[in-house]
């Protein structure tokens, strides 16, 4: 899980430049690790912004290991036992970083 950043050149084609993850434990690859899954990513100038349920993070695109900012969000997940059955509801996330608004999901 995570956001992969690729480079593209005529000589080398697609090359993985790096990966951003919000998960503390990258081996956790099941439903319960879903809260840390990156749901949206966008870049502006030299900054990559990634959003998960609980975090908004900004990383330098020139050096993806360099985290510029991290904001904890107060999001909640909806846990579904069977299709159409919501066990506990969530309120979504909201927050701002460097002028980028993260809207609360509707529904």
- The CB density around residue 56, as the number of other CB atoms within 10 Å, is 23
DSSP one-letter code for 64: T
Give me the residue spans of the domains in the chain: 3-102
β partners of residue 101: 96
| Residue-wise burial string across 71-102, b where 16 or more C-beta atoms lie within 10 A, e elsewhere | eebebeeeeeeeeeeeeeeeebbebebeeeeb
pLDDT tens column, 46-69: 999 999 888 899 999 999 999 999
Provide the pLDDT confidence category of residue 32 given band limits of 50, 70 and 90. low
Tracing tokens 């593209």 back to the chain, one arrives at 8
Is 0.75 topped by the overall pTM? no
């Amino acid at each position: 899980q995570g956001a992969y950043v690729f480079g593209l050149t005529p000589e080398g084609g697609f090359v993985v430049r790096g990966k951003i993850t919000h998960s503390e434990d990258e081996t956790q690859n099941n439903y319960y690790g879903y809260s840390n899954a990156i749901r949206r990513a966008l870049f502006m100038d030299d900054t990559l912004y990634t959003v998960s349920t609980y975090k908004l993070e900004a990383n330098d695109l020139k050096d993806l290991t360099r985290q510029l900012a991290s904001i904890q969000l107060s999001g909640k997940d909806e846990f579904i036992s069977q299709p159409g059955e919501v066990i506990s509801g969530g309120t979504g996330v909201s927050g701002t970083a460097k002028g980028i608004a993260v809207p609360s999901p509707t529904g």
